[in-house]
């Protein structure tokens, strides 16, 4: 594979710099994660026993390979703490993605029904929060949900509750935070497919006697499935590894895998176990990631 063949035409030269960058800073680091996930914990700086050193001779490398251990992975699959946090991550991601779909679909549908002129305004309004800091938006909810926060004040004033309700450090607060933060990611791909739909299709369905509800399920929804899939993947994958939202809004009795990884890394300084947790998380996400990659590529090829 000569360099000449790879980048024969000028535009291909453009690929060299970003290609090298991504290999160096995206692909190679995964190699290190894999390597350290196979090594032993040590009380040292950095806190692990180096597995092998490429400067050594062949015999040493062979010995090092023999010393590779799957202990960290064995720990992960045998310890309930980790198994539970993987399961919890999947459940939280599945539940929040479903809520996101239920909330996001009507909003995207409403946007697609707006007059053209207003559609771009609505789209802008949905995108803007995405530009606003994630952390700030979660913090805004802490303001509202705390013990003597706005929500409890309103509920008390309306006599809906007699004592302040505990909202923070609960799963409901976490779900609220996740739905709030990821809503634009769900709305935008849905809107993109719904806006492209030919209005004549619904007219035809109505002419043929379909009630609006039936026409929706027979025509609109099936045609919007690509948007649904894109939105679901765009939300589900990052939510599985989410750290900030559960850390600030959920209780500390059960952790998501992103939090467990963070804890192992920053608090327990157990880099090998943190790395093994990252490898397992990646394996868990591999199928949806590949699917998303294919979808993304097809979409951009279509646009060419």
Q: Which of residues 134-173 bind other proteins (CB under 8 A)?
A: 134-137, 139-144, 146, 148-150, 153
CB-CB contact of 250 with 171 (8 Å): yes
Instruction: Write each residue from 88 to 117 as x if it is in contact with other proteins (CB under 8 A), else as -, in one continuous string.
Output: ---------------xx-xx-xxx-xxx--
Task: Give the integer Cα–Cα distance in Å for 226 and 189.
Answer: 8
81 lies in the site for other proteins, by CB under 8 A: no
- How far is Cα of residue 30 from the mean position of the Cα atoms in its chain? 18
Task: Give the integer Cα–Cα distance in Å for 221 and 219.
Answer: 6
CB of 65 to other proteins, least distance (A): 18
The nearer residue to other proteins, 73 or 243, going by C-beta atoms, is 243
Q: Which of residues 221-260 bind other proteins (CB under 8 A)?
A: 233-234, 237-238, 240-244, 248, 258
User: Which of 51, 73, 75 is closest to 62 using CA atoms?
Assistant: 51
User: Which of 237, 243, 219 is closest to 285 using CA atoms?
Assistant: 237
Task: Give the integer Cα–Cα distance in Å for 190 and 104.
Answer: 8
- Number of chain residues interacting with other proteins (CB under 8 A): 103
Instruction: Write each residue from 17 to 56 as x if it is in contact with other proteins (CB under 8 A), else as -, in one continuous string.
Output: xxx-xxx-xxxxxx-xx--x---------x----------
Q: Which of residues 260-299 bind other proteins (CB under 8 A)?
A: 261-262, 265-266, 271, 274-275, 278, 281-282, 285, 289, 292-293, 296-297
In DSSP terms, 41 is beta-bridged to 48
- How far is Cα of residue 291 from the mean position of the Cα atoms in its chain? 14
The nearer residue to other proteins, 64 or 237, going by C-beta atoms, is 237
């Amino acid at each position: 594979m000569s360099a000449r063949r790879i980048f024969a035409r000028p535009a291909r030269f453009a690929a060299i710099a970003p290609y090298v960058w991504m290999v160096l800073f995206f692909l190679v680091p995964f190699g290190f994660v894999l390597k350290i996930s196979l090594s032993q914990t040590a009380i040292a700086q950095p806190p692990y026993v180096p597995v092998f050193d490429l400067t050594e001779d062949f015999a040493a490398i062979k010995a090092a390979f023999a010393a590779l251990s799957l202990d960290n992975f064995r720990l992960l699959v045998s310890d309930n703490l980790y198994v539970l946090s993987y399961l919890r991550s999947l459940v939280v991601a599945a539940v929040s993605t479903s809520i996101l779909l239920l909330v996001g679909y009507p909003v995207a549908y409403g946007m697609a029904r707006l007059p053209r002129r207003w559609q771009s305004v609505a789209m802008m309004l949905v995108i803007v929060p995405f530009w606003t800091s994630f952390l700030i938006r979660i913090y805004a909810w802490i303001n509202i949900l705390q013990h003597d926060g706005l929500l409890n004040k309103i509920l008390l004033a309306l006599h809906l509750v007699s004592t302040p309700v505990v909202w923070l450090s609960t799963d409901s607060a976490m779900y609220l935070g996740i739905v709030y933060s990821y809503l634009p990611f769900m709305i935008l791909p849905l809107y993109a497919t719904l806006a492209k739909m030919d209005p004549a299709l619904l007219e035809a369905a109505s002419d043929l006697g379909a009630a609006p509800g039936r026409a929706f399920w027979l025509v609109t929804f099936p045609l919007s499935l690509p948007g649904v899939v894109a939105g679901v993947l765009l939300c589900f994958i990052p939510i599985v590894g989410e750290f900030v939202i559960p850390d600030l809004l959920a209780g500390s009795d059960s952790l998501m895998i992103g939090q467990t990884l963070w804890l192992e890394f920053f608090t327990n300084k157990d880099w090998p176990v943190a790395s093994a947790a990252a490898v397992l998380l990646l394996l868990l996400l591999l199928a949806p990631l590949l699917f998303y990659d294919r979808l993304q590529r097809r979409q951009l090829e279509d646009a060419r």
